[in-house]
Amino acid sequence: MSTNIRTSEHPELQPGENAVGWPAEMCRSLIELSPWPMFVLDCETHRVIEANPAATRTYQMDLETLRAEGVERAVPPHRRADLTRLLDAGLDAPPQDFFSEHILPDRTLMPVEVRSFALAWNQRPARFFLVRDITPRSAAQSAIGKITGERVSGAAAHDFNNLLTVILAVAEQLQEGEGNPQHQVGLIAKTVRSAQEMAKQRLSLGGRQMSHNERLDLNTVLREQEDILKGLLGKQSELVMQFEPLLPPIFSDTEQWREVMLNLAVNARDAMPEGGTLKVTTSQATVGSADADLELAPGKYVRLTVEDTGHGMSEETRRQAFKPYYSTKSRNMNSGLGLASVAAAVQQCGGAVRLKSEPGVGTCIEIFIPPTTLELSAQEKSTHILLVEDSLELRRMMEQFLSGRGYDVVSCGNAEAALKWAAGERSRVDLMLVDLVLPDLPGGTLVEQLLMLHPDSKVIFISGHPDAGQEAGTLPGRHLEKPFALHELAEVIADAVKE
């Protein structure tokens, strides 16, 4: 790895006139022997142009592979826009230290600390990156220190107290003869299992929490928490849950999101001592230039909104709300870790939190989480779909649904547009999803012409006309009849891809 790192851009670091600089061979040895991955990226092409042995070992790619596709393979999709902006700034971009995560060969996320600075590399603007793995390890427990240890213990106690509150509240209802005993006993058992799972996570790392990230459906996680949240709120408050049905998956830790909801429910309960309503909704949202406060890359996100009708916060409290150990309550009531742990969990999966609150109005917390394709199979991740459907509404819905599942989708409204695109497209088309009845050409005829350009493509015909369905039986491919449910669409595509 070359070491032509110039210091002329930093005059204050220049050695004195008679000083002896570090020998080039020593610098080269330090880089080659470093246990931390080091990269140099070209600011104009955004490609890796140099990497040390630690980088090739960590990401299990030789230098040529790193140069060809290192960024795309190692940096999660929701982090790439930030990297692009940094590189586009060229030599004008200041040095930066930040926390992020990288994708390892087994598709897990490795939390990292990154240090970077701009430099001229072979007379071209470039940027140097040093990456340090900060995955928690039990061997490092002794180095955590007294303050950090207290914070970890406080966070664990806080989360366990939330679950104990549910158990005690339901047990009290049982003693008073209120509610359905069978349901309440089941809720206590469910809450105890959640506490056991939390304890297992914390104890496995000597008290520190470990994330088990996976591709998950946020709606499912929230539905599973409904009974526990109702028990936590108490009989004086109402829980309302509304979910968008076609919510894209996220890449995160299920247990973390259970704890997020527990913390938000506790805050809402304490803000509504006389009772009220806690509303939990999920939706899709587009982050743009008007959302600069979120510090997120523009694009589509999964949004979780949690609103209460409580007493709200003052402007001072709102500004301090996400700081660890900040609380308006006594230490006997709260550890001050609730919203801080929420913010940490959201940031860990590449998201952001927005807090709105006014005294006497209530509090609204919006959480934005990037959708993911990280846990798709290798076959799914590389599947390119050409969708041809003349109904605009149906085409948009299908494109959104399939893109949310991680497929690379190109959609066309007629045969002419599809043929024009396919003729100029050099990359492969793995699957054609074609309506048999199109305004300018029969779907079967279109597929025959498309297969001349992309002979290895699989074919799925879609139609709501029985007579057209007979035509599909004479052509190679599968047939999906309208109307169809989206899960049916997903199943037939998955089966076709696996063939």
Regarding predicted confidence, which is higher, 406 or 123? 123
Report d(CA 214, CA 14) in Å as an integer. Answer: 48
pLDDT band at 24 (very low <50, low <70, confident <90, very high): low
Task: Give the model's pLDDT for residue 408.
Answer: 80
Rounded average pLDDT over 386-407: 78
pLDDT band at 374 (very low <50, low <70, confident <90, very high): very low
Give the model confidence (pLDDT) of 453-494 as tens digits: 888 889 999 887 655 445 544 566 788 887 776 667 878 888
Task: Give the model's pLDDT for residue 364.
Answer: 94
* Burial grade of 60 (CB within 10 A; 0-12, 13-18, 19 or more): exposed
- Is the peptide bond preceding residue 483 cis, with omega within 30 degrees of 0? yes
List the CATH code of the domain at 140-369. Answer: 3.30.565.10
Task: Give the model's pLDDT for residue 127.
Answer: 93
- Phi and psi for 255 in degrees, rounded to 5? -65, -35
Regarding predicted confidence, which is higher, 203 or 440? 440
Give the model confidence (pLDDT) of 309-348 as tens digits: 999 888 888 877 776 544 544 333 343 345 777 887 787 6
Report d(CA 194, CA 405) in Å as an integer. Answer: 29
List the CATH code of the domain at 378-498. Answer: 3.40.50.2300
Domains 140-369 and 378-498 share a fold: no
CA dihedral 430, 435, 441, 446 (to 10 degrees): 20
Q: Do 409 and 403 meet the contact criterion of CB atoms below 8 Å apart?
A: yes
Q: Tell me, what amino acid is at 449? A: Q
What is the SS3 assignment for 208? coil
- Superfamily designation of domain 11-133: PAS domain (3.30.450.20)
The mean of the pLDDT values for the chain is 75
Q: Tell me, what amino acid is at 179? A: G
Report d(CA 227, CA 163) in Å as an integer. Answer: 12
Token digits of residue 188: 């206590």
Report d(CA 159, CA 167) in Å as an integer. Answer: 13
Q: Do 497 and 383 meet the contact criterion of CB atoms below 8 Å apart?
A: yes
Regarding predicted confidence, which is higher, 199 or 302? 302
Task: Give the model's pLDDT for residue 338.
Answer: 56
Token digits of residue 48: 């890796």
Report d(CA 128, CA 145) in Å as an integer. Answer: 31
The answer, yes or no, to whether residue 280 has pLDDT greater than 90, is yes
Domain boundaries, the chain: 11-133, 140-369, 378-498
Rounded average pLDDT over 107-121: 84
Q: Which residues are CB-neighbours of 93 under 8 A, at least 6 positions away?
A: 86, 87, 118, 127
Lowest mean pLDDT among 98-102, 276-280, 320-324, 430-434: 320-324
Distances (CA, A) of 2 to 122, 400, 411: 9, 45, 46
Rounded average pLDDT over 164-176: 63
Give the model confidence (pLDDT) of 70-107 as tens digits: 677 788 877 888 888 889 999 988 888 888 888 887 77
Length of the chain: 499
pLDDT band at 148 (very low <50, low <70, confident <90, very high): very low
Q: How many CB atoms lie within 10 A of CB 358?
A: 14
